[in-house]
Amino acid sequence: MNKDQLITELVADEGEVLAVYLCSAGHETCGVGHMITKADPEYGWPLDAPITKERSDELLGEDLKIVLADCAWVFDGFDDFPEEVQLIIANMMFNLGRPRFQKFVNFIAAVEDADWQEAAIQMRDSRWHRQLPQRSGRLIARMEAV
């Protein structure tokens, strides 16, 4: 998979904020959608406290390792999927996290069957799509085109 393309897509979808902020779910976040945890040095920092571009890149790199490992954990043959499907799934996994992603049981089954049209249908039939229609709509259109 082209990780540079994935990074470009995630920055476009998530944005990059070089400061601590509250995400739409109310979690302290920084960089490219990185939810700050107790293990992060930024934990407990005040809102608007700045971080460097280098730190944002470091956090994104760490998050991508987790996301790609989660993708491979959910899908045994993840690396064998078409690159476009890998990019779509990784984008979804980054956005949702593995616990919520795993609730997409019918989507996962469709992907495992290489039924990209059914996968797109399952993406559209979700609360995720209703909550994030722009982002999900782009990913659905891409899945339909596979």
For the chain, 146 residues long, give each residue's pLDDT as a single digit of tens.
999 999 999 999 999 999 999 988 899 999 999 999 999 999 999 999 999 999 999 999 999 999 999 999 999 999 999 999 999 999 999 999 999 999 999 999 999 999 999 999 999 999 999 999 999 999 999 999 99
How far apart CA 71 and CA 51 sit, in angstroms, is: 28
Residue 23 region by backbone torsions, left for phi larger than 0, else alpha for psi between -120 and 50, else beta: beta
Tell me the whole-structure pTM to 2 decimals: 0.94
Terminal Cα distance for the chain, rounded: 15
- pLDDT number for residue 99: 96
User: Dmax over Cα atoms in the chain, in whole Å?
Assistant: 47
- pLDDT number for residue 118: 98
- Domains of the chain by range and CATH? 3-144 (1.10.530.40)
- pLDDT number for residue 116: 98
Question: Which tokens belong to 45?
Answer: 């920092």
DSSP H or E stretch at residue 84: helix 83-96
How far apart CA 123 and CA 136 sit, in angstroms, is: 8
At how many degrees (to 10) do helices 3-14 and 83-96 cross? Answer: 40
- pLDDT number for residue 21: 97
- pLDDT number for residue 24: 82
* CB burial of residue 2 (10 Å; 0-12, 13-18, 19+): exposed
